[in-house]
Amino acid sequence: MKVTNYISEAFTELRTNVTWPEWAEVQRYTIIVAVFSIIFALVTFGVDKGFEVLIAKVYGFLKS
C-alpha cells in the first residue's frame, strides 16, 4: 500500500508542482546536447588515435 501511495503522490506532484519546459525549448536543448555529444566523441576519438600513433612510434623506435 505504501508503494502505491508513493507512486500516486509522485504523479500528482509531477502534474501540479513541476514546471515543464515548452516543446521548442526541449527541442533546442536536445539539439545542443546532441551536437556537444558528437563533438566530445570526435575529440575523444582524435586523442585516442593520437596516442595510438604515438605509442606505435615509440614501440617502433624501441624495437629497432
Overall pTM surpassing 0.75 (yes/no): no
Between the alpha carbon of residue 20 and those of residues 32, 50, 57, the distances in Å are: 18, 43, 54
| Selection from 30, 12, 13 nearest residue 21 by Cα | 30
Task: Give just the sign of the alpha carbon dihedral 19, 20, 26, 28.
Answer: negative
The pLDDT tens digits of the residues spanning 2-38 come to 999 999 999 999 999 999 999 999 999 999 999 999 9
pLDDT higher than 80, residue 64: no
Q: What is the largest CA-CA distance in the chain?
A: 73
The full set of domain ranges for the chain reads 21-64
The pLDDT tens digits of the residues spanning 42-60 come to 999 999 999 999 999 999 9
Q: What are the percentages of helix, strand and coil residues in the chain, rounded to 5?
A: 90, 0, 10
